[in-house]
Amino acid sequence: MYNFVVNKGSGKKRGAEYLQRITEYCDKKGIEYTVYQTNAKGHATTLTRELCEDGADNVIAIGGDGTFHEVVNGIVTNGKTVVGFIPAGRGNDFARTSKLSNDPIEAFEDILRGETKNIDFIQCGDKRCLNVAGAGMDVEVLQAVINKKNAITYYMSLIKCLLKLKPYSMRIKINGEWLEKSCIMVGVGNGKAFGGGMYACPDAKIDDGKLDLLIIEKHKRGVMRLIPGFVKGKHEKLPEITHYEVEEVEIDNGGYPVELDGEIYENLPFHCKVVKGGLITYKVKADME
């Protein structure tokens, strides 16, 4: 029995289309399944938690990064429930890191093979983050593109935010030492990309027990010069950008909102820890090549 938690509205209703294709496939193959449709923000978390409490062997999320985020926050990490991901959003940033197929049938066939692996996630306060957590510019951009998230609108809003940017004063605790920075943004990556394909943390891996801390500082030269290299993940030599490999980081960002997997949270302490191997997921074909 496969338990599909689906956001039919994700990716301009791509979630509904993919669900139909997958259920038709299951009906043809005689595969048993149950569909649980989300109807409000946070509903996927509730549905997932209830499934886990009822002893579900699996929860298969069909949707975008926001749906994946909610499902991960509902999983009871008891070593039993396996999580599957079928990307149906507009950005699909976690899919880039985890090499998920963007074809729903191929993604489901990876799940059907039944081979599993453990991956990490970020614990941030009482919330979990699967991909990237951030504060600063990325939150400003997300606030500007609410309900119209795609690569083009994200990049346009990014440029507008950079042009009128006022840097954030942040204190960052790394290995017990506090650093004071004037930042454009601070990001913590378990995954590589955010914003529909911007490779903020190109060296991050979801199963190495580490997080990639990204700090972008405000320097004298124009910040627009950052964009080409930042989008492609070719920013290791830019003087504004520093990466640290950490297991835990605490960021005092002055009480500004933070984003986890593209979802904005007010009043959430920006204190991130890696939970090593905290999720059981299905292997994809790329894992076995």
Contact 40, 57 (CB under 8 A): no
Mean pLDDT of the chain: 89
Query: Quick one: average pLDDT of 175-196?
Result: 91
CA quadruple 187, 191, 196, 197: dihedral sign: positive
Query: In this predicted structure, what is the pLDDT of residue 151?
Result: 56
Query: In this predicted structure, what is the pLDDT of residue 263?
Result: 93
**pTM exceeds 0.95:** no
**DSSP 8-state secondary structure symbol assigned to residue 175:** T
Which tens digits make up the pLDDT trace of 4-49?
A: 999 999 988 999 999 999 999 999 999 999 999 999 999 999 999 9
Other CB atoms within 10 Å distance of the CB of residue 273 = 16
Contact 287, 99 (CB under 8 A): yes
Which tens digits make up the pLDDT trace of 201-220?
A: 999 999 999 999 999 887 76
Query: In this predicted structure, what is the pLDDT of residue 154?
Result: 61
Query: In this predicted structure, what is the pLDDT of residue 150?
Result: 56
Which tens digits make up the pLDDT trace of 64-81?
A: 999 999 999 999 877 789
**Could you tell me the pLDDT band of residue 239, with boundaries at 50, 70 and 90?**
confident
Query: In this predicted structure, what is the pLDDT of residue 162?
Result: 63
Q: What's the rounded Cα separation, in Å, for the pair 200 and 198?
A: 6
Q: Flag whether pLDDT at 147 surpasses 60.
A: no
Q: Indicate the pairing of strand 116-124 with strand 270-282.
A: antiparallel
Contact 35, 23 (CB under 8 A): yes
**Could you tell me the pLDDT band of residue 287, with boundaries at 50, 70 and 90?**
confident
Neighbouring residues of 201: CB distance < 8 A, sequence distance ≥ 6: 132, 187, 189, 191, 192, 193, 212, 214, 243
According to DSSP H, which parts of 30-134 are helical?
43-53, 65-74, 93-98, 104-112
Contact 79, 246 (CB under 8 A): no
Which domains occur in the chain, in start order? 2-114 (3.40.50.10330), 132-270 (2.60.200.40)
